[in-house]
Amino acid sequence: MERGGAGAAGVAVGIDLGTVSATVAVFREGRCETLPNAEGSPTTPCVVSFAEDGRILVGEAARRRALSHPQRTVVSAKRHLGSGRTVTVDGEVYTAEEICGHILAKIKRDAEARLGAPVTAAVLTVPAHFSELGRRATRQAARRAGLEVLRIVNEPTAAAFAYDHSRLWDREWDDTTLLVVHFGGGTFDVSLIAVGDGVVDVLATCGDNALGGDDWDAALAAHLAAGRGNSPAALTRLTDAAERAKTDLSSRSETEIDLPYLYPATATEGPLHLRETLTRATFQAVTADLLARCEGPLRKVFADAGLPTEVTRVVLVGGSARMPAVRDLVTRVVGPRARLHHLPGELVAHGAALQAAVLRGLYRTTLLSDVTPLSLGIGTKGGTVRRLIERNTDIPTRRTERFETVDPDTESLRIPVCQGESDLLADNVLLGHVTITDLGRAAFGKPIDVTFDLDASAELVIRVRHPVTGREHRFSF
């Protein structure tokens, strides 16, 4: 057997690029294996720090500098993939794609050292609810790191895929519908997935890309700061302490916060030390609004799949799903009969590695069938949306519609393409515009065929064709 599918083409790995940390795995000799990084850890912190001497530190070395050099250190870059937001360090402007590119480059390097072979390609996972822009940005980040992206797979789907693969040894297992709750540092996803009969089939998916453990930390940090103005250093220390307290409160009912010299002395007051005992009840009260935001997607995914809110198996993945309040909420929604299993976080990377092996033709296993998380459409006159692909449609998929130009004087067309569920264009994510300039004079009433092609990574290619002339234009964002 080839080493992890190595050969002339190099090894293909699976990478779970998280908000807080990343994991890389390879499928070899019939099983998935997490590859420890150069520091010997199974996960790499997704932190990049720019040193004064020009060095770029990534991973644990960068994470250690987050407290001492908060303004030179970038955390949680994944949350901004595809948003166009940038971060400035030392006058240099960086996109989230660039930051994630540095993280992926380290992951690639460390995996190569571990495998003793070049790693050239990868399957990457993204939150199921990631838009087209987030998916493209993830792909770009991987390209920057010199990786060919074989496919983008949704995180809950990857987890279910690896779980299904490992169930070969689970005698109690019956074919069933799983609720996968994936809840990490930056994103919340829920998917209903039918497994069995050789298929892992996603029935529906729902989520919130702007909801994760980071938000719990920020809410608790704000509570602890009690309205005091914070320097970047104080805020970093508070957030760090909040994160530790939060994690502690998953297994204990109270914890101590101890931050000596958090606020330096002023002309009138001495230095302030923050010392307090925090109970789980207070923590849950402070973060109740955030928890409430989890309930909508949990209920909606059942409604979208047309199923009653009842399952017997719930699979929880990600650090934030360890919060007792989250588990309680899930039980409240799906009923007390459900069995909750918390899976190891590395399962997401394992699912990606398995898919990489399948795509490289090295392994034949269960079929994976996923859906698109968000509807896709075009903006029409008057600011409304004509949807071409509805959310939760099986992918890959293709849909063509014929339109007629309505403006008598236009020789060109600029059609907005959007993703989301609102009938109003302004309330959707604008992916970009399709611009056609060769309609010819007096374009009024001319037909054009617009085709939306959504591939297995839920990435969109649009083709616009003039049926009369046969001319065709191709667009992607």
Ligand X SMILES: Nc1ncnc2c1ncn2[C@@H]1O[C@H](COP(=O)(O)OP(=O)(O)OP(=O)(O)O)[C@@H](O)[C@H]1O
Return residues touching ligand X (CB under 6 A).
18-21, 78, 184-187, 212-214, 243, 246-247, 250, 318-320, 322-323, 345
Q: How far is the CB of 239 from ligand X (least distance, A)?
A: 10
Per the CB < 8 A criterion, the answer to whether 376 and 19 are in contact is no
Q: How far is the CB of 320 from ligand X (least distance, A)?
A: 4
Q: How far is the CB of 129 from Mg ion (least distance, A)?
A: 13
Residue 59 interacts with which of ligand X, Mg ion, none, CB < 5 to 8 Å by class: none
132 vs 346, which CB is nearer to ligand X? 346
355 vs 366, which CB is nearer to ligand X? 355
Q: How far apart are CA 47 and CA 65, in angstroms?
A: 9
Q: How far is the CB of 206 from Mg ion (least distance, A)?
A: 17
Residue 101 interacts with which of ligand X, Mg ion, none, CB < 5 to 8 Å by class: none
95 vs 125, which CB is nearer to ligand X? 125
Q: How far apart are CA 423 and CA 437, in angstroms?
A: 27
193 vs 418, which CB is nearer to ligand X? 193
Per the CB < 8 A criterion, the answer to whether 376 and 454 are in contact is yes
Task: Return the ∠ at Cα 135 (arms to 132 and 138), rounded to 5°.
Answer: 150
Residue 69 interacts with which of Mg ion, ligand X, none, CB < 5 to 8 Å by class: none
Task: Return the ∠ at Cα 379 (arms to 374 and 385), rounded to 5°.
Answer: 55
Judged by the rule CB under 5 A, the positions of this chain that interact with Mg ion are 18, 184
Instruction: Tell the residue number behind the tokens 């606020």, with chain if given.
Output: 263
Q: How far is the CB of 314 from Mg ion (least distance, A)?
A: 17
Per the CB < 8 A criterion, the answer to whether 451 and 441 are in contact is no
Q: How far apart are CA 270 and CA 390, in angstroms?
A: 60
Q: How far apart are CA 288 and CA 310, in angstroms?
A: 24
What one-character-per-residue DSSP string does 35-49 give? ---TTS-SSEE-EEE
DSSP state of 458: S
Q: How far is the CB of 54 from ligand X (least distance, A)?
A: 28
DSSP state of 426: G
Q: How far is the CB of 207 from ligand X (least distance, A)?
A: 10
Taking CB positions, which residue lies at the least distance from Mg ion? 184
Q: How far apart are CA 303 and CA 309, in angstroms?
A: 8
75 vs 460, which CB is nearer to ligand X? 75
Q: How far apart are CA 224 and CA 329, in angstroms?
A: 25
Q: How far is the CB of 383 from ligand X (least distance, A)?
A: 33
Q: How far is the CB of 451 from ligand X (least distance, A)?
A: 33
Smallest CA-to-CA distance from 16 within 133, 177, 189 is with 189
Residue 73 interacts with which of Mg ion, ligand X, none, CB < 5 to 8 Å by class: none
The pair phi, psi for residue 109, each rounded to 5°, is -60, -50
Per the CB < 8 A criterion, the answer to whether 90 and 72 are in contact is yes
Other beta carbons within 10 Å of 91: 5
Residue 373 interacts with which of ligand X, Mg ion, none, CB < 5 to 8 Å by class: none
What one-character-per-residue DSSP string does 321-377 give? GGSHHHHHHHHHHH-TTPEEEEPPTTHHHHHHHHHHHHHTTS----EEEEE-SS-EE
4 vs 213, which CB is nearer to ligand X? 213
60 vs 243, which CB is nearer to ligand X? 243
Q: How far is the CB of 353 from ligand X (least distance, A)?
A: 16
Residue 70 interacts with which of ligand X, Mg ion, none, CB < 5 to 8 Å by class: none
129 vs 387, which CB is nearer to ligand X? 129
Half-sphere exposure of 458 (CA within 13 A, CB side): 34
Other beta carbons within 10 Å of 48: 28
Residue 213 interacts with which of Mg ion, ligand X, none, CB < 5 to 8 Å by class: ligand X
46 vs 450, which CB is nearer to ligand X? 46
317 vs 357, which CB is nearer to ligand X? 317
Residue 436 interacts with which of ligand X, Mg ion, none, CB < 5 to 8 Å by class: none
